Amino acid sequence: MMTIVTTVRLKEGAEQEWDSVMRERLAAAKTQPGWIGGQLLQPENEPDLRMIVGTWRTTEDWAKWHEDPEFTETRQRLDGLSREEPQHSWHQVVEDVRRGSSTPRARESARGGGGARRGARAPDEAGS
């Protein structure tokens, strides 16, 4: 299982529209093979910053989602509301513990070789 964290700085005044488009994208991601879950975060005291946390079974599942026409359409809309290029980092999930889960999920091999690529640029955009 792999998690991608994407950080995006928004244009002034674009926060509500950007959040709305990202909610559409997250709803569409639910139907994608390999999608596990995601979160849209806003750091305290930084109303123009967003972090998207998307968890996928594999990085390949994430890459296939980026070929979907619905993803491409929302990406164009989001790019127009962003002030700078998104920053991406991949992380291998070592443990995933959630309310209602009887046992934690242990590390699964999400791609050959295993370790997280810290600071690596994603080939496209996250999403979640």
Domain span holding position 21: 2-106
The predicted pLDDT at position 103 comes to 58
Whether the Cβ atoms of residue 105 and residue 96 lie closer than 8 Å to each other: yes
Q: Is residue 113 part of a domain?
A: no
The tally of domains found in the chain comes to 1
Q: Is residue 79 part of a domain?
A: yes
**pLDDT exceeds 60 at position 66:** yes
Whether the Cβ atoms of residue 76 and residue 66 lie closer than 8 Å to each other: no
**pLDDT exceeds 90 at position 15:** yes
> CATH number for the domain including 40?
3.30.70.100
Q: Is residue 19 part of a domain?
A: yes
From CA 77, how far away is CA 71, in angstroms rounded? 10
Q: b/e string for 112-126 if b means 16 or more Cβ within 10 A? A: eeeeebeeeebebbb
Residue 91: CB atoms within 10 A of its CB come to 16
pTM of the model: 0.77
